[in-house]
Chains A and B, each alone.
Chain A
Amino acid sequence: MSQIGMQMPGGGRRSASMNIYTGLLALAVVALATACVFVYVQAGKIGKGGDPFTLQDPKSPDVGLAAKGR
């Protein structure tokens, strides 16, 4: 970036500023955070032992429904 700025005619260093892309990036970060939250919650529901990062046994999946009083 600074190299791109340095190659521009007039040769002067300008300060970075927030633009539309920053906003879109912020929006993306918010969306990602929201998605992470939703996926975390749902993955916790179907994860083994309530852990969203643990894989279930395909032959005998355990989603804790009996513990919840299904």
Chain B
Amino acid sequence: MHIVTKILIVFGAILSVLLAALTIPFTANAGALRLAVANEQAARLAAESERGSGLALAADEKAKLEDAVRSAEGQAGEAARRNAELQNERSKLIADVEIARQSAQGSKNQIDNLTAANSANAAVLAALQKEVSQLRDAQVQSSRRETELVDRLNDLEGQRQVLDQNTRALQEQLAEARLTLEQAKTGSTAAQGKDQPFISTGPLVTARVKQLFKSPAGDDLVIISEGANAGLKVNQKMLIIRGKDFVADLVIVTVDQTQAVGRIDRLGRTVEVMAEDLVLSSIR
């Protein structure tokens, strides 16, 4: 065999062994790597499936969150609208508060003015009370003075009435004396006309008809407001006047101190005597 052949055979053997040595771990490592790759692929698949389920959950969660977001946006919009309304209401309330504050200030000013006016009125009232007290004292004094004057007046009135009665009595006496003198001149007696109605020649007596009534005999009787204090006498004839018109004659039948009763003589006329008609003792 050629030496080259031998060398080649040796090299071939060495290279064969070397190749075998390289091939064995190579194949083992390739198997290990293949197993690792398979595990990685399984893990990747599991991760992908987990990722898919996670994505589904995430999608559901996202949908829920989107619904929540929409709901929150709706609530936010509602809250914004409510906020705007509350802002407007707040503005109105602030304006109302300002108006109320101004009104309160105005009321306070009015109160102050009224207080000042009240103080002034109190001072005026005190002055008026003082004046009223003074006037009351003056009135008391005036009343006292008036009472004294009224007493004095009553006394003088009484004296006057007494004097009037004396005067009337004197006048009647004078009239009777004149009548007696005339009768003496004419030859008639005074006793003949004593029961006949007569017209007084004394001072004028004025009275008013107070009440009308009928006597049991059917005569029309009246009560007048004067009596013996005015000098009226029984059978004295008086005249009943209404305005400027003559109504009827009145003959005194009964005389009291302050009133008298008379019988109406209509003189054949159809007239009616009324209350408050004027009664005169004579026409002058």
Contacts and interface: CB of A to CB of B under 8 A. Distances in A.
Interface of B, secondary structure class, is: helix
A17 B1 CA distance: 7
Contacts of B18: 36
A2 B255 CA distance: 222
Contacts, number: 83
Interface string B1-43: 1111100110110011011011101101111110110000000
Contacts of A55: 25, 28-29, 32
A63 B32 CA distance: 11
Interface residues of B, number: 26
Contacts of B23: 39
Interface residues of A, number: 31
Contacts of B1: 1, 16
A3 interface: no
Contacts of B15: 29, 32-33, 35-36
Given A39-B23, A47-B29, 7 more contacts: A22-B4, A25-B9, A28-B8, A39-B19, A39-B26, A52-B25, A61-B29
Interface of B: 1-5, 8-9, 11-12, 15-16, 18-19, 21-23, 25-26, 28-33, 35-36
Interface of A: 1, 16-18, 21-22, 25-26, 28-29, 32-33, 35-36, 39-40, 42-43, 46-48, 52-58, 60-61, 63
6 contacts: A16-B5, A28-B12, A35-B15, A36-B19, A43-B22, A47-B26
